[in-house]
A and B are shown apart, each in its own frame.
Chain A
Amino acid sequence: MEEHFHSVRLTTDRCQGCVSCTKRCPTEAIRIRGGKAQIISLRCIDCGECIRHCPCRAKAALTDDLADLKNFQYNIALPAPSLYGHFSADIPVDAILSGLINLGFDDVFEVAQGAEIVTLAIRDYLKRPDIIRPAISSACPAVVRLIQVKFPELIDHLVPFDAPVEVAARIARAEAAKALGIEADKIGVWFITPCPAKMTAVRRPLGSEKSNITGAIAINKIFNDLLKVVTADNQLVKSKASWVGVGWAVSGGETSAIDAENMLAVNDIQNVIDVLEQVALGKLKEVDYIEVLACAGGCIGGALTAENRHVIEFNMKKRIKKKKSLDPTAGRLPRETYTDFELGSAGRRAIEPIPALRLDEDIAKAMSKIEIMDKTLKTLPGLDCGSCGSPNCKALAEDIAQGLANKTDCVFILRKRTRDLAFAMVDLAVKLPPPLDKDHNDDY
């Protein structure tokens, strides 16, 4: 496991040092120093907000490439259901899956299948009387990390299951190893991802020691190539997932798949923060389950998608409706059972808090830093303009208390000090004794 791996990176050459990203980051993880953005690793949850809002496109997500397939004997693509929404509903899922084979994969396994298994597991879980309510979905890795950083008190609310993609990867790898008789680690299992946080979760898994996913390839990286090979008459592969799993791509899909009473679906990171704050205050106890997705609209709004999210949403909704009406006859029926192996609930690790907001490991030192922060904050203008490179005045005060910034990083303080200095210089100049240059005395 790579302790500090983040998928979200900065392309320093492109960064103009504007403050757009610092203002959007939900964990205040970005600072502009020396004219360039820097990400505080411990705080970053890989939500992709900074990628979405960077006007210079200097923020990007590190993902894998199709070229990496050559390192494995056999390669399986795990398409996120949101990929289907990139195509109009007239293009069958079978054709999209077959297109992936044309790109060089040996097989495909739909993440939506994993979602169906997780759906069933959550249904069973919610029947238990002893669980902490509201149970919170653990499907979005950005939200899980948000909880680790900002709401550690809610960790026990998270449902103790892997995200659908992890479940899908485990089954895909095991099935292929058995069927083909090759070693499991010679099989490449690649997530076709809308999402940088999921890329990070491959390298730094949540809740398990090692991910079953080999790597993640961004949808926007392969979409162009895929478009060229997807045609309605190329349908080699048969889709196996029903609407239940496919629906998870759109906000609200998870709750409607689980179909219990008293559920809430929330999307977009700021809304997610708002609702988690309410849960932390002991409210919403009558709610059984909260679906929380960091992206606006759900995974269809992921930072690595290749289409406008409203277009994807439209396509998805149409597709899901179609699938629902087809199901009893020609389409796939939702699954009804799952095994413990498929779910992978054995050997799950506890999710630990990440103390990224703590000012110091020593509480006495942290207290004096708070005191400095407070004093400093009173002297700052309170405009939250962000020109200093910290997201707001409070964050600058914190950075000063940490010894990471100076008061004069604030342009208003700098201006005032400069003006004061100028006045002082004029003052001094006036008080100076007359020139001692005797030769010019006559000129006066």
Chain B
Amino acid sequence: MPLRQGVILEFELEGSDFNGAGEASSKIKRTLQQLGIRHEIIRRIAISAYEAEMNVIIHAYRGVVKAAIYQDRTELTVQDEGPGIADIELAMKEGYSTAPAHIRELGFGAGMGLPNMVRCTDKFDIKTEAGVGTRLSMTIYH
């Protein structure tokens, strides 16, 4: 009997909390491994989740990462409270980044986040409002 209800994982993120970075994606990855999802798929989901997580930590005040895992797909949604993205088209370009210098010096914010997510996901949607925040929705089919 196929389950309509999926496994839902939710994580709260704090802006600038680099210590917690990667926790959400590694927990999501672990759950996918327990479900026996193919590893190429897991890798794409883990990388997308990680990039999204990093975006919140680098750019926003706080946010929530949610992974809804169904039999045939995983849906990632990341909602943040932050400055939003001024020019989405520009932000989607590889290598374009608005990350401040001190963060780039740490090796983050190389401007690959959004392009990476687009590359790894089957459906990608981004909504952003200046001064309010950004919402990312991604789907990866298993």
Contacts and interface: CB of A to CB of B under 8 A. Distances in A.
A202 to B, nearest CB: 27
Contacts of B71: 363-364, 367
A153 B25 CA distance: 15
**Range of interface residues on chain A?**
20 to 34
Contacts of B22: 277, 281
Contacts of A277: 22, 26
A357 B32 CA distance: 10
A358 B116 contact: no
Contacts of A370: 7, 31, 34-35
A281 B47 contact: yes
Contact of B35 (A280, A281, A358, A398): A358
Interface string A341-366: 00000000000010101111101101
Contact of B116 (A150, A282, A361, A364): A282
Nearest to A368: B3
B39 A153 contact: yes
Nearest to A358: B36
A367 B42 contact: no
Interface in B57-86: 69, 71
Contact of A364 (B3, B25, B26): B3
B34 A366 contact: yes
Nearest to A151: B39
Nearest to B116: A282
A152 interface: yes
Contacts of B35: 358-359, 363, 366-367, 370
A259 interface: no
Interface string B1-41: 11100110000000000000010011001110111110110
A153 B7 contact: no
A361 B36 contact: yes
Given A363-B71, A367-B71, A358 B33 contact: yes
B127 interface: no
Contacts of B29: 280
B34 to A, nearest CB: 5
A360 B35 CA distance: 7
Contacts of B43: 153, 280
A371 interface: yes
**Range of interface residues on chain B?**
20 to 34
B36 A360 contact: yes
B71 to A, nearest CB: 5
Contacts of A363: 35-37, 71
B50 A359 contact: no
Contacts of B39: 152-153, 353
Contacts of B56: none
A358 B22 CA distance: 22
B106 to A, nearest CB: 12
Contacts of B2: 364
Nearest to A152: B39
A374 to B, nearest CB: 8
A143 to B, nearest CB: 17
Nearest to A282: B47
B46 interface: yes
Nearest to B69: A367
Given A364-B1, A364-B71, A367-B71, A280 B46 contact: yes
A140 B33 CA distance: 24
A290 B128 CA distance: 40
A59 to B, nearest CB: 26
Interface in A357-399: 357-361, 363-364, 366-371, 398
A277 B27 CA distance: 12
Given A353-B39, A366-B35, A281 B50 contact: yes
Contacts of A369: 34
Interface in A125-168: 150, 152-153
B96 to A, nearest CB: 18
B16 to A, nearest CB: 19
B46 to A, nearest CB: 6
Nearest to A357: B33
Contact of A367 (B6, B26, B40): B6
A281 B36 contact: no
Nearest to B40: A153
A270 to B, nearest CB: 14
A353 B37 CA distance: 12
Contacts of A353: 39
Nearest to A362: B36
The 4 closest A-B pairs by CB, nearest first: A358-B36, A153-B43, A152-B39, A153-B39
15 contacts: A152-B39, A153-B42, A277-B22, A280-B43, A281-B47, A282-B50, A358-B36, A359-B36, A363-B35, A364-B3, A367-B69, A370-B7, A370-B34, A370-B35, A398-B34
Given A281-B22, A370-B35, A398-B34, 17 more contacts: A153-B42, A280-B29, A281-B46, A355-B36, A357-B33, A358-B35, A358-B36, A359-B35, A363-B35, A363-B36, A364-B1, A364-B2, A364-B71, A366-B36, A367-B7, A367-B69, A370-B7
Interface of A: 150, 152-153, 277, 280-282, 353, 355, 357-361, 363-364, 366-371, 398
